Amino acid sequence: MNIIVITGASSGLGREFALQLNKMHYVADEVWLIARRSDRLEALSKELSYPCERLTIDLSKEEDLNQYKKLLEKKNPVIQILINCAGFGYVGGFQTISYEQQSSMIDLNCRALSQMTYLSLPYMKENSRILQLASSAAFMPQPGFAVYAASKAYVLSFSRAITEELRKQKIYVTTVCPGPIRTEFFELAEQYGSSFTLKKYTMVEAPQVVKAALQASKRKKELSVYGIPMKCFFVISKILPHKLLLVLLRFMK
Ligand SMILES: NC(=O)c1ccc[n+]([C@@H]2O[C@H](COP(=O)([O-])OP(=O)(O)OC[C@H]3O[C@@H](n4cnc5c(N)ncnc54)[C@H](OP(=O)(O)O)[C@@H]3O)[C@@H](O)[C@H]2O)c1
C-alpha cells in the first residue's frame, strides 16, 4: 500500500498540499492526514478522492506520536511522500513570551518534525520524497522572532544534512523556505507582537508556494524558495555578514 503522509493538514499549507496532490491525480492508495482539529480533517477528507486515514493527534506529545508509529507497524505501508507541515511561531521579544510557549515551538517545529522523519524513514523506498517546511526565517537570526527563526534554522540544517545522507538510498528531501504566506499562521503568531511591516508587503498565497514546492520536490531539488523577494533575501543572507544585516534591520523597524 502506497501512502502520502501530511502533518498540519487541517489548515494552510498542509491542507493545500493535500488538495493539489488530489487535483494532479497523484497515485496513492491512501492519504494520512495529521493535526489536532478532527472536524477540519474530516471536512478535508470529504474533499479528497483518496481514501483517508485521519490521525487527530498532538505532535508535540510523545505518546501521541506513538499512535503514528503503531499505525505504521499495523499497516506496513510504503510512504511515497511525507510532508512535514505542522509548525507555528510567536512574534515577540524573547522575554515577553512565556518559556513554556517558547519551548512548545521547539517541541513541534524541531523535535516532532525530526521524530516524524525518523519514524517514517523505515517505510520509505527508492524515489520516496520528503518535504520539510522550514521558512525564510531560517536564513538569519531574527530579533523579535528569535525562537521561531532558530527552530526553522534547525529544520533547514537538519534537512540539508539528511538530504546528503539519504542520497544513496535515492530518497529525496526538499526543504521549503517560504516568506510570509496568508494562512492562519499569523492569527496565532501575532498574539504577543506584530510582524515587521515589510513582511506584510511580501505576503503571498498558499497555492503558489505549494505548487512551487511540489515542482521542486518532483525535480528532486534540495530547496524551494518561493518568489523574487525571498530568493533575494536568501542570496543576501549568504553574501552579507549577519552582524551587518542585524544592524540594518534595527534601523528598518
Ligand atoms: N504562513 C507563513 O507565513 C509561513 C511562512 C514560512 C513557513 N511557514 C511554515 O509552514 C508550516 C505551515 O504553516 P501554515 O502557514 O500552513 O500555518 P497554519 O495554517 O497555522 O497551519 C499549521 C498547521 O499545524 C498544525 N499544528 C499546530 N500545532 C500542532 C500540534 N501540536 N500537533 C499537530 N498539528 C499541529 C495545525 O493543526 P491543528 O491546529 O488542527 O493541530 C495546522 O494544521 C509551518 O511549519 C510554518 O512554520 C509558514
CB distance 232 to 41 below 8 Å: no
Of all residues in the chain, what percent carry a pLDDT higher than 90?
92
> What confidence tier does 172 reach under pLDDT thresholds 50, 70, 90?
very high
Task: Kindly report the protein residue whose alpha carbon is nearest to atom 7 of ligand 1.
Answer: 135
DSSP string, 51-118: -EEEEE--TTSHHHHHHHHHHHHHH--EEEEEEE-------S-TTTS-HHHHHHHHIIIIIIHHHHHH
The answer to whether the CB of 105 is under 6 A from ligand 1 is no
SS3 48: coil
Query: What is the CATH number for 247?
Result: 3.40.50.720
248 is in which domain, residue-wise?
Answer: 2-252
**pLDDT tens profile 106-158:** 999 999 999 999 999 999 999 999 999 999 999 999 999 999 999 999 999 99
Does the global pTM surpass 0.95? yes
The answer to whether the CB of 108 is under 6 A from ligand 1 is yes
Distance from Cα 137 to the centre of ligand 1, integer Å: 15
Q: How many domains in the chain? A: 1
